[in-house]
Structure 1
Amino acid sequence: MISRRHALAMLTSLPAAPALAQPGTGPAGPGLFETGATTHSVTRHAFLSADGQRRYRVDMAMPKQRPPGRGWPSLYLLDGNAAFTILTPADLASVPNLALVAIGYETEQRFDNLARTFDYTPSWSGPPETPGRPEGGSAAFRELLLGDIRPRLERLGRLNPKKATIWGHSYGALFVMDTLRTDPDAFRTYVPVSPSLWWRDGAIAAAPFRSPRHSVRVALMVGDREARRTGGGAPPSLDDFAASIARVRALGESLAATPRLIVDVTVLPGQSHGGALTTSLPLALRIAAEDRP
């Protein structure tokens, strides 16, 4: 029997939803910065990478109420251009006491594939997974996030540094896992969705994870219609979908053996890789708003 300290809850009771296609990489369209919200004030901030090669667009949605004494709990969203296009004012209204920080890039596209590939992948030996897309910038991006972006916005928005959650999807989830591996106390809760466990033949899942000083929650998510397409060949089979779920569950079991990691795995019914991005966001809001690790 697994104690709460090493809890692993397989949550599969969400209502089924139709499979969604991979979100497009075209123009993002109007998002929360343009539409606004009745419960939150949305502001935009600019940051630059240390090497001057990547420009970040960071949108922050702050509750309009007076902040509590120790500041607001917060949710940091990677791929912020896409996240703040998908989330709606109604989503924000469901968490009136949660601050959101969407970290994107200076582009009108939903994703900046070159920048995110570099920022979200660890430095690992061997050639990049995708030719022409440099990798290995996660340490530098993490230093910018934790050393510049987060402290500045915490001061500006009265955010509670002890109640911070980070969400990421696909390569973004790879960065979330790498941060959990290297600096587990950086966030109180980690929400990696559809992590790219295939990257470098499963390197992130095989890497050792450090135990945090205090209890940390890890909310893994994966769609039940996910399988990596490598080009050509037959469409994914039910066995391919099952294998993807099994890899995420195995990762959850492994993480749950680490002291002070509280792990749960949620399987999102009917969701493809892209659909998991969309479906996971409202769930991440609720997780971040909860007052528990």
Structure 2
Amino acid sequence: MLRTLALAAAALLVPLAGPAAEPATLPGMEERALVSREGLAYRIFIAVPQAPPPPNGYPVAYVLDGNAVFGTLADLARGQTRSQGGLMEPAVLVAIGYPGDAPINMPRRARDLTPAPATPEKGAWTYLTPEGTGGASAFLAFIEDELKPAIAAHFPVDPARQALMGHSFGGLFTLHVLFTRPSAFGTYVAASPSLWWADGAIAREEAAFAAHPPRGAQRRLLLTVGAYEQELHPGLRTRADAEAVARKLADRRMVDGARDLAARLAAIPGQPVDVAFTVLPGQTHGSAAPHALLLGLETFLGPAASQARQ
């Protein structure tokens, strides 16, 4: 038996015969380069359903940190559509990423996804600098004035059915858009939003939103957080810096902060936002992302979304 296993393992090391390897591709997925009016380059990942569009066009989900999440999210969405035996409507996925192959481009996303702090001298309560952050409003302008028109010019999409989804700083940006330009999207998915950033800079925007809630159609917000984003996961307690990490998690109050935010938004008179709050059991900040984004797609495209429109 040992000899058989050894021979099988050796066979795996033999180079495959045939032509040189090519990058793997999946049906309906493409990438386009886009340079903003400010001269910033983006990688735009797009997944288009194989099913024909409905009369008003496909719904569209815009997803942040495209380099990190597009492949997983697009493949999950493709497998969960009704034509594949799933429960979700077909939709166009547009994931916004950055040049290069790194899953996370921290300098670029820090600039794009963080709102301006209340006072520059406070900066961003982290290792980032004020000069490299605070560009959320400019990034939103890029999405609204440049990216959305480009997508609409190339694909049959429904402008009335659009969602924005983001994790961490992306979740923070998602809330920034909801609070400052709520009509931009109908559904918002804020996964593990960095509410702590810049000593809670997003709280100013929340307060202005609550004081003057938008009229018209109710917006939907899915707010998620991992159960182990406020306390250290048992599997990480052997880390050399476990005590310092545990203190940082406790200080940032990711779970309590998200829960409190959901309660405040649900209590706004007139209920301009339909809020759903979910704690993802067993998940840390990083591992919560794919779970939250899949749940976000289900919220946007699943049976409950169809019933809400009826």
The TM-score normalised by the length of structure 2 is 0.76
CA distance in 2, matches of 1:84, 1:194: 18
Q: Contact (CA 8 Å) 1:184, 1:211: kept in 2 or not?
A: no
CA separation in 1, counterparts of 2:61 and 2:223?
A: 15
Q: Which residue of 1 aligns with 2:287?
A: 275
Q: RMSD in angstroms over aligned alpha carbons?
A: 2.4
- CA-CA distance at 1:148 after TM superposition: 1.0
Distance 1:121 1:235, change over 3 A: closer
Out of 255, 267, 278, the residue aligned to residue 266 of structure 1 is 278
Counterparts of 2:267 and 2:203, CA distance in 1: 13
User: Structure 1 residue aligned with 2:45, among 53, 59, 68?
Assistant: 59
Q: Structure 1 stretch 283-292 or stretch 126-135: which is displaced more?
A: 126-135
Q: 1:167 aligns with which of 161, 165, 168?
A: 165
Q: Deviations over 1:156-179 (max 9, x none)?
A: 111111110110000011110100
Structure 1, residues 131-151: CA drift from partner, whole Å, max 9, x if none? 457011111110110111012
Q: Who is 2:254 aligned against? A: 244
Q: How does 1:26-37 map to 2 (within 5 A)?
A: 34-37=24-27
Sequence identity, in percent?
34
* Residue 157 of structure 1 pairs with residue 152 of structure 2: no
User: Would you tell me which structure has more helix in proportion to its own residues?
Assistant: 2
Equivalent residue, structure 1, for 2:195: 197
Distance 1:131 1:88, change over 3 A: closer
TM-score when normalising by structure 1? 0.80
Whole-Å separation in 2 of the counterparts to 1:110 and 1:284: 20
Matches within 5 A, 1:127-166: 127-129=123-125, 130-132=127-129, 134-166=132-164
Kindly indicate whether the alpha-carbon contact (under 8 Å) linking 1:224 and 1:242 is maintained by their aligned counterparts in 2: no
Q: Is the Cα contact below 8 Å between 1:49 and 1:141 reproduced in 2? A: no
Structure 2 partner of 1:49: 36
The one of 59, 62, 78 aligned to 1:76: 62
Greater fraction strand: 1
2:196 touches 2:252 (CA, 8 Å); kept in 1?
no
The answer on 1:288 being equivalent to 2:278 is no
Which secondary structure does the structure 1 equivalent of 2:164 belong to?
A: strand
C-alpha contact 1:205 1:251 (8 A) present in aligned 2:
no
Alignment partner, residue 219 of structure 1: 222
Deviation at 1:194? 0.4
Higher relative contact order (CA 8 A, sep 6+): 1
Cross-structure match for 1:99: 92
Q: Which amino acid aligns with 2:288?
A: A
For residues 214 and 146 of structure 1, the distance between their equivalents in structure 2, rounded to whole angstroms, comes to 19
Bigger shift: residues 155-164 or 126-135? 126-135
Aligned mates of 1:44, 1:200 — CA distance in 2: 34
Unaligned runs of 5+ in 2: 1-22, 82-88, 233-240
Instruction: Say whether the 8 Å CA contact 2:124–2:197 is kept in structure 1.
Output: no
Which one of 106, 110, 114 corresponds to residue 117 of structure 1?
110
Runs (4+) of structure 1 exceeding 6 A deviation are: none
**Alpha-carbon separation, structure 1, partners of 2:253 and 2:136:** 27
The one-letter amino acid of 1:260's match is: P
- Equivalent pair of 2:124/2:199 in contact (CA under 8 Å): no
Superposition deviation, residue 270 in structure 1: 0.3
Q: What secondary structure does 1:65 align onto?
A: coil
* CA 228–134 in structure 1, closer or farther in 2 if over 3 Å, else same: farther
SS of equivalent residue, structure 1 residue 57:
strand
Moved more, 115-124 or 197-206: 197-206
Amino acid at match of 2:277: V
